[in-house]
Each structure stands twice: as C-alpha cells, then as structure tokens.
Chains A and B, each alone.
Chain A
Amino acid sequence: MAVDVLIAEDEPSILESLDFILRRAGWSIAAVTDGDAVIGMLRKTPPKVLVLDVMLPKRSGFDILKQIRADDMLHDLPVLILTAKGQAKDRRTAEELGADGFITKPYANAEVLDEVRRLIGAAQSG
C-alpha cells in the first residue's frame, strides 16, 4: 500500500498541522514519530515524498537522509527537510547530503504545500 507523503516528525502538534493541510490538499499520508522507524516504514509503504524532521528521537534526520541516498532502492526518493534548526550551515548540510527541499520552522502552510507538490510532480515526471 503506497502513500503520497510520509511525515517523520516527533512534535505531536506540528505533526497534526502537517497531516491536516496535506490531507486537505488531497494526498494520502503516513507518519512516524521516531528516527529508527523511518527506513522500515519507507520499505513497507513507499511514499512519493518524505517530509523529514532533523531533530528526531533516536536517530537524526540527516543520518537517515545519508542512508537513503546510499540505499539501492531508496536513493531517488524526494526528501523535504523540515527543521527548527534554521542556520545557514544546517541548510548547507542538507544540500550536501542531497536533500531536495529545505524548509525551516515556523513554516507557511502554502510553502509546504508548494514544495510537496513540486516534489511529487518531479517524482512522477522523472
């Protein structure tokens, strides 16, 4: 069973808001709340886009991104980094690790929607 977007986010209220706006835009959603669960979930229900928080319990989002890019099956997956770490060096790290998008918290809902739309489009055309 595939979904459109997998959200990896540990803050319940942020997860709720993301779930709400993305569902309302018509996408199907799955979510995980800790870092260890992400890769397993990606294999079980492969999404079109992964929205990935950086400060996750147990395993950092950057670490997960690194593994995705090195994985035979997953390396093409579009990844949108969503983080409260807003410094330039964090953005640079994300780019170096091959993130497809980078949004800092607090975010505008429209910005998240645009990015997810762009990445799903890219995934389908590519």
Chain B
Amino acid sequence: MLSSELVIAIAIGYVGLLFLIAYVSDRLTRSGKAAFLHSPFVYTLAISVYCTSWTFYGAVGSAARNGLEYLAIYLGPTIVFIGWWFILRRLVRISHNQRITSIADLLSSRFGKSSRLAVLITIIAVIGIAPYIALQLKAVTSSIHAISRVGSGSIGGIDEVSLALAVAAGMALFTILFGTRNVDAKEQHLGVVAAIAFEAIVKLAALVATGIFVIYVGGGLEAIFSRAEAAGVDIYSIGTFDDRWVAMNVLSAAAILCLPRQFQITVVENSNENHLRTASWAFPGYLLLVSLFTLPIALFGLTSMPAGTNPDMFVLTLPLAAGHEGLALFSFIGGFSSATSMIIVESIALSIMVSNHIVMPLVLRFTQGRGTVRGQGVSQLLLNSRRFSIAVILGLGFLYFYLTRDSNALAPIGLISFCGVAQFLPSILAALFWREATLKAATAAVAVGFVVWAWSSFMPSFAGSSTLVAGIMAQGPWGLTWLRPEALFGLTGIDPLVNVVFWSLFLNTLTLVVVSLLTSPSALERVQAGLFIDLFRPSTSGSPSVIRGSATAHDLFFVAERVLGSTRATALFADIPPDPPPQFIDRLERELAGSVGAASAHVMLSKVVSGDAISIEEVFKMAGETRQAIEYSQELERTSEELRSTAAQLENANLKLRELDGQKDEFLSQVSHEVRTPMASIRSFSEILLEDDLSEGQRHRFVSTIHQESLRLTKLLDEILDLSTLERGERPWENVSVDAEAALERAIDVCAPLAKRRNMQIVVGPRAGRATIEGDADRLCQVLINLLYNAIKYNDAPEPMVQARSRCSRGRYVIEIADNGPGIAKADRKLIFEKFSRGQSGVPTPAGAGLGLAISRQLVERMNGKLELVPSPDRGACFRVTLPLLSR
C-alpha cells in the first residue's frame, strides 16, 4: 500500500504538469510555432475525452457484472464517427459558418435565435451532466481509497465525502485557472486541447500497461479465459445483446453528439473540417485499443481476487495484489487523467453555455440597454460569470455525489447522464435535416423528454437517500401505479434503462413532429432553417442580414469594445464609415455571436440599432428580398459558369499556342544540334589539316570525311526546307497519274547496290502487277527508297533480309516494306514519325538527322495516302504505304 500523502502529492504534481503543457502550448501558439497542435491526431486524441474514468474503471466493472454489455458504449460513437459525412460534417460546417459556441447555441440559433430555448438547453445540460461529474469525483475518491490507506497517516480520519469535496474544489480551481483566461470561445482553448490530448495518451498507456500486466500474470489470454469458464463466469451470453444493449447503443451514439464536452471538442475546437476525415477512423481505433483489455482484466479479477472486491477498481487492485505498486500508481494516474480531462472540458463547455445563455441575457434585461453595457466591461463580466459557473457546476456534481453516495457501481451513473443529454438528439437532427421543425416544437420536445428522464432516470437514483423517492418508486405518486418511474404507463417487465430510453425519446420525438406540424415557423426561424439545411448549397452560404436599421459606428463600437476587447474591436472597425452598412452590422453580429452566442448577440445589437423593432411584415419583406437575392445570385452563378467555360477555352487555346511555341523552340534546338554535329567534325579535321605533319593517307582520309560531313549538312538543310514546306500544307508538285508499281521497281533498283554491299538481298514478294495512283512519281520513289534504306541500314540479323510486296484491294494500293531486323521498340512506335526521332534502342545512326520518316509521311499524305508502322508477324519492322487507286 502506498501512503495517501504520496498519492495526493503525485496527483497534484500531475495537475501541475498539465498546467505546464497548456501554458507552453499557448505560448507556442502565440509565437506561431505550434503547427503540430493543429494536427488531426491531436484533435482525435482530444475527442477521446469521451473515455472518462467511467471507461477507465467502470468498463471493467461493467464487464465483470454484465459481460460484453460494455461494448455498446464504444459501438455507438464508432458508428457516428464512421458516418461522419452525414451528421458531424454538417455540424462542423454550420458551427464554423455561424460561429456556434455550444450545443445550446446551435439549437437556439437554428430555431430563430431563441434565448428561451438556449436557457432550457443549458439548464437541462447542467442538471443532466451533474451525475456524470459526480461519477468522476466518485472514481477519483474510490481510486485514492483503493490505492492508499486513507484513514491513516497525516491525512488520517479523512472520509470519502470530505475527500470528494476537496477533489471537487481542486478541480474547480484548476479549471478556472485553466479555461477562463480569454473570452472568445473560438480562440480560447488550444492549450487545453493540448493537455487533453496528452491525457488521452496517458490514460491509454496506463490501461494498455495494466492489460499486458494482467495477461502476463494470468499466464496468457487462454489461461485467463479457461480459468474464468471453470469458475462459472458467464463470459459470453446471447442474452447480453437484448433490448437493453440496443438502448445502450442508441444512448452512446446520441451522447457522442449531444454531450457538451464532445460538442466542444469535436465541433467548436475543430480548426479544420478535414480533421474529421482522420478522426473518423482514428477515434474508433482509439476506442478499440481502450476496450481491448477490458475483458481479460475483468475475468482475471473475478477469478483471482477475494469475493466482494469492487470490480470497478480491478485496474488498481490487481497490480497492488501482485505487489506492483509502481504500475498501480501509473494506473491511478491514468484514471486520474480520464477524470480530470472530462471535468475540465465538460465544465468549460457548460460554463460557456451558462454565461452566454443565462447570465448575459439577465444582465442585458436588467440594465435597460446600452447605458450599462457601456459602463461595465462585458468581457470581464463574461469571464467572471464563467468562473462562477464552473464552481456551480462542480458544486452540483458534488451534491449529486453526496446524495447518491451509497450506490456502488460507476456505469449506471454514466448512463443517467447519457440519457439526459440524448434528449437533445431529436431536435439536433431536425435542426439539420427538417425545414418544417419549429421553435415551439423543439422547446416542447426537449422539455417533455427532460421531464420523462427526470422522473424515470434521474429521480430514481435518489431512492437510496430519500424514503419519499423510494415510495414513489414502489407504488407510484399518489398510488398511481402507471406512473411508477421504472414502469411508465404500465409497461412492466422490461429493463428500467430500456423503459426510460424508450419513453423519453419516443415522447420527445412525437412532440417534436406533432407540434411542428401544428405550428408555423417565424420569419427568423425560416431564414435560419435555410442556413442550416441548405448548408452545402453555394447560393445560401452567406448569412442574410436580419438586423435592419441604422446605427452609428460610434454606438456599435461601444458594444463591440465591451465584448471583444479594445484591440479586436479597433481592428474590426478600421475603415468603417460613421454610418456602417447593414452588411457590417451583420458581420458584427456574427463576431459577437462567437463570444456571447447567437441569441445574446442579437439582443445586444437590437438595443443599439435604431429602428430594429422588426415588425413581422418587415421580416417577411426581408425574407422575400432574401429569396430574390438568392435567385439573383443563382442567375449570376449561371452567367459566371458561362464565363468560366469561355475562360477555360481561352486558357486552352493559350496552352496550345504555348505548346506550339515550345515545339518551335524544341525544333530549333534540335536543328542546331543536328547542324553542330557534322560541323564539329568539319572544324576539327580542318584544324588538323592546317598543320603539316600528316601522311598523304591521313590527309586524304580527313578530307573525304570533311566532304561527307558537308554533304550530310546539305542534305539536312534540304530536308528541313522540304519538311517545312510540307508542314505548311503546301504541295510542291501537281498530283498526276503515276504508275506506282514502276516507282517501286525503281526504288528497289536504287537500293540494290547498298543491300549487296551488306550481303543481303531485297526479296520481292507478291506484287500487285499494275496500279495507277494519283501523285508524284519521284516523291513516291523517294519515300520507298527511304523505307528500304532504313530496313537495310539498321538490319543486324545474321541473315539479313528485306521484303517488298504490294497488292490492290478495295480501291486501294498497298505497299509493304518488311525486314527481319531489330524492329521498333514498343515505346518508340508512336514517336518514330516525329521530327529528329531515331529509335532509342536502335544502333547509332550512321547518317541522317531522323527527318526521313517525318518527311515520308508528309509526302504520302500529300498524295492522299497513309504511311504507318504495322505489326509484323515475325521479328523486324513492317512499314505500309496505302494510296487510293485512281479509278478509270
């Protein structure tokens, strides 16, 4: 056993470390060196604030008591995150657009910026979360008890309640120091997020370490399972996956969306929508890791610990029982991490709601407008109200803990809170997807759901401390048995959790639908509904101005300065004329909403802007204008679509021109290269010849090389001129009747001597006999000579052979020149007709600049024919000339 002083000192030290992390992160952010804090993985780790001490300690307890049931707590969030595209993406986008600060702000904003709805949501959230905070306090105090000997040493005599009170007070102080330094909820908590991400790593590491330890001590997974089976533990039963399991899945899926701390981290602290993409697989992955060791720990605990040991504390007591105090301490820090991260984020999120939606509106109401707004710094007021809210929230948590201190298990307390916040779910879904949902319906639905929850889930948890509650539980109020909390409306024989989940969500949704159908939305609701539901339609991305009227920049500045602080207000008002345009008022409203919520921002500006007593008619007129504006902008969009396409065409044409230009450059550079090569030999040999000490033989050889290279140059220049004429589409000859077979004959005759020199023969294959085409006899002959030359020159076969054959078919005359040489590499087949192209894999070209085939193709095309490389049956290349026969 560890001494309690040590444990508490370590816990305090750990809190100090968190503080340091938050402080350093804030400093780094301010100096722009904290890019890694904006990583999607830090974001994902922060989302795992979902895993509280309920997960850390309670999941093992739940697994020990109810088998695989605990998995439902992870399955719901996993499904929501994998389906991020449907709901989370919308939430994040809307909240960015509208500068939403909390879940109350979201619903209030959608339903006509209603402050009444915001207050209702806030109150429900604060009450609903109290059990959850109590759960953390309970987990921390139980864990301190489990790991150390409370009741001995210098903190001797301290009981569980006082310890919980001390923990609550410490947490309140810590959260106040931690989370309320700044006002704008959008800029606030990078440091906190960093600390939460760090805690996510610590708790995962602690749980995994304990899990591995247990598997090691228990002699492996198999041994643990078989021992549990032998001891009669019901590891897997199909009964686990019953209606209660379904209800838990529904609750956990709802909770990951509706818990104020999850909304805070997932939506409000989100700096980049794309981070959701990463979180969609990384967060389920984290949950998987966290749940991996739950069952082995639970089973090993059940079989190795004395009967009656609290299974919620197995994570601590198992290492302690084995004498591993260090691991137990690490485990304790992990559990402490889970509790502190939940309390910090939850109370920050709730305090923002309380101060924005309850304190601010009250202040506004009792100060009769700007006179007092001007007199007192709103931002200071906000900070103080947040600090006060944090204290109240933790106080409520402690109160709940105190009243229900006799209950033993952790998991049921968590489910109470889950069910409480799940009452927001129908309204959230309606806010995102159902245009007809109205403020009255949402308010009524949430209220009905809350009442059912309070009656059937919240109240029963006090049965242990209140005989009145115990009586109601047993007989119903005033003897009305159909109102018994755990068997509402006579529905008996089902699990109490299923009972409350079913009735609360059913009545909640029913109310929402029925009241929506019976009432009609106000103009402002219509406008806001459009913003929420047509979120991804480009024409409505801007928020239409709702506050109308005029105000002086001077008056507006006073409001802005009080809320945003003087630096930001001054920046915002730079270049604003004395009578600001409505768009500016609109923008200011959104800025203010980022600090105080949509409803309060609306009220504050309404007080300053004269003529803002918006009549219904005026709002309708405005909504009409908005519609017109939307139609107009759609019109504009069509026009600009056309412009875009024209611009794209121009761009395309420009690209082609530039490409042509580039080709010209390329051509010149290649010509230069081709000219320089023979010039190099000519110059070098000339210089050698200028010196005298050469033999006659050498002199003769060098002079003939010079002669050859100058012929090559001339030929090159001729070819270039030829090609440029042909490429301009000109035909330097008249097409006349030509005896094509005679031209082929002549070409074979010209090439025969070269073939002979290379010890090869030109095989004359099947011939057409007679063929008349329209063209130029000399040019056709030139093409065929070129093809034959290539076939001879590049042929390196042991028994080299070239075949020339011709035929007439379907009004066409076809000549094929085939060889058994190396053939044309696949990669070169397309390029072979380009200028200056030589087969890369071919032997070095003895002469010729690689213009021959390009010219030949042009020549054949000018005779209305085609020159192509056709697949050859065996090795070698086969070129085919096809020309239309001249019909008589």
Give the contacting residue for A20; candidates B679, B682, B688; CB below 8 A. B688
Cβ contacts under 8 Å, B705 to chain A: 13, 16
Cβ contacts under 8 Å, A70 to chain B: none
Cβ contacts under 8 Å, A106 to chain B: 676, 679-680, 682-684
CB–CB A17/B688 < 8 A: yes
The closest CB in chain A to the CB of B672 belongs to A86
Give the contacting residue for B676; candidates A10, A17, A104; CB below 8 A. A104
A44 interface residue per 8 A CB criterion: no
The closest CB in chain B to the CB of A107 belongs to B680
CB–CB B681/A13 < 8 A: yes
The closest CB in chain B to the CB of A53 belongs to B677
Give the contacting residue for A105; candidates B680, B708, B843, B846; CB below 8 A. B680
A94-118 contacts to B, CB under 8 A, are: 104-110
Complex Cα–Cα for A10 and B680 (A): 13
B734 interface residue per 8 A CB criterion: no
Cβ contacts under 8 Å, A33 to chain B: 844
B303-348 contacts to A, CB under 8 A, are: none
Give the contacting residue for A85; candidates B673, B681, B682, B846; CB below 8 A. B673
Cβ contacts under 8 Å, B840 to chain A: 57-58
CB–CB A10/B844 < 8 A: yes
CB–CB B688/A14 < 8 A: no
If A34-B844, A57-B844, A104-B676 touch, whether A85 touches B687 (CB-CB below 8 Å) is no
B639 to chain A, nearest CB (A): 44
The contact string, 1 if C-beta is below 8 Å from chain B, for chain A 79-91, is 0000011110000
> How many A-B pairs with Cβ below 8 Å?
68
B688 to chain A, nearest CB (A): 6
Complex Cα–Cα for A107 and B688 (A): 12
If A16-B705, A58-B840 touch, whether A105 touches B687 (CB-CB below 8 Å) is no
A21 interface residue per 8 A CB criterion: yes
Q: How many residues of A contact B (CB 8 A)?
A: 26
The closest CB in chain B to the CB of A17 belongs to B684
CB–CB A55/B676 < 8 A: no
By secondary structure, the B interface counts as: helix
A63 interface residue per 8 A CB criterion: no
Cβ contacts under 8 Å, B678 to chain A: 13
CB–CB A14/B684 < 8 A: yes
Complex Cα–Cα for A18 and B705 (A): 14
CB–CB A109/B684 < 8 A: yes
CB–CB A107/B684 < 8 A: yes
CB–CB B844/A105 < 8 A: no
The closest CB in chain B to the CB of A104 belongs to B676
Cβ contacts under 8 Å, A10 to chain B: 844
A interface residues, Cβ below 8 angstroms from B: 10-14, 16-18, 20-21, 33-34, 55, 57-58, 84-87, 104-110
User: What are 11 pairs between A and B in contact, CB < 8 Å?
Assistant: A13-B678, A13-B709, A14-B681, A16-B681, A57-B844, A84-B676, A85-B673, A86-B672, A104-B676, A106-B676, A106-B683
Of all A-B residue pairs in the complex, the 8 with the closest CB atoms, nearest first, are A105-B680, A84-B676, A13-B681, A17-B684, A106-B683, A106-B680, A106-B679, A84-B673
Supplied contacts A13-B678, A106-B683, A109-B688, 18 more A-B pairs, CB within 8 Å: A11-B844, A13-B681, A13-B685, A14-B681, A16-B681, A16-B705, A17-B680, A17-B681, A17-B685, A18-B684, A21-B684, A57-B842, A84-B673, A84-B674, A86-B672, A104-B676, A106-B676, A109-B684
